[in-house]
């Protein structure tokens, strides 16, 4: 018969052992849940997202070993929740900056035939026509050939008897002039 001197009974599944640092962290997390939720909600502005952050924080606390010498479990847990909430907020702001305007509103009606949109289009066409008349004739010819007749810069250069590089500069000057007149977009 073998005697095992350093036998310790297995921990119960329903609660961690009392000397386990992670066990006290879990109990503190559960006891402080409402205040942790308030912290995350203040940062994110949405209680549903704050709930997600709390779940992420709990999983992080489950996966990562807790420091053995925690002086205050509540401060440690609060810091984890705060950091995750700030990370989530920053990610939301980045996504908002990157993706805003990429997808058109699906519910927005198309007002292409409304009297206002027709009047605005006619006014823009009149302004463009007037601005084009103010351009030098060679510049106006290059713009018309390039943008309306879909000619290449090389073909325009042959027609005007200038180099393709000069056509490029003429088109840049035309864009700048029209932009100064608030016509080009």
Range of the domain at 67: 21-99
Of 99, 125, 152, which one is at a domain's C-terminal end?
99
Residue 147 and residue 85 share a domain: no
pTM assigned to the model: 0.44
| Assigned domain for 10 exists | no
| Assigned domain for 92 exists | yes
* Number of structural domains the chain divides into: 2
Which CATH number does the domain housing residue 154 bear?
Answer: 1.10.10.10
Distances (CA, A) of 35 to 32, 43, 70, 154, 170: 6, 13, 20, 70, 65
Residue 82 and residue 36 share a domain: yes
Residue 43 and residue 85 share a domain: yes
Structure tokens belonging to residue 66: 């807790």
pLDDT tens-digit series, residues 102-116: 555 555 555 567 788
pLDDT of residue 130: 86
pLDDT of residue 56: 92
| Assigned domain for 144 exists | yes
In this model, does residue 12 exceed pLDDT 60? no
Of 57, 76, 99, which one is at a domain's C-terminal end?
99
For the chain, percent of residues with pLDDT exceeding 90: 27
Q: What's the mean pLDDT when you consider all of the chain?
A: 79
The alpha carbons of the chain give a radius of gyration, in whole angstroms, of 34
Residue 86 and residue 30 share a domain: yes
Residue 93 and residue 25 share a domain: yes
pLDDT of residue 4: 44
pLDDT of residue 97: 81
Of 47, 81, 99, which one is at a domain's C-terminal end?
99
| Assigned domain for 155 exists | yes
pLDDT tens-digit series, residues 25-70: 788 888 999 999 999 999 998 889 999 999 999 988 888 766 666 6
């Amino acid at each position: 018969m073998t005697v095992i001197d350093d036998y310790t009974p297995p921990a119960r599944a329903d609660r961690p052992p009392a000397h386990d640092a992670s066990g006290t962290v879990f109990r503190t997390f559960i006891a402080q849940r409402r205040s942790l939720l308030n912290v995350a909600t203040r940062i994110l502005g949405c209680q549903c997202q704050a709930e997600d952050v709390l779940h992420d924080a709990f999983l992080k606390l489950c996966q990562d070993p807790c420091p053995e010498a925690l002086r205050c479990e509540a401060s440690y847990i609060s810091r984890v929740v705060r950091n995750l909430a700030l990370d989530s907020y920053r990610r939301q702001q980045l996504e908002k900056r990157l993706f805003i305007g990429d997808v058109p509103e699906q519910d927005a009606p198309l007002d292409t035939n409304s009297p206002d949109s027709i009047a605005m289009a006619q006014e823009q066409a009149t302004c463009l026509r007037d601005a084009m008349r103010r351009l030098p004739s060679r510049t106006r010819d290059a713009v018309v050939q390039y943008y309306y007749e879909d000619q290449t810069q090389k073909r325009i250069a042959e027609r005007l008897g200038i180099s393709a590089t000069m056509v490029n500069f003429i088109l840049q000057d035309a864009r700048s002039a029209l932009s100064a007149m608030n016509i080009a977009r």
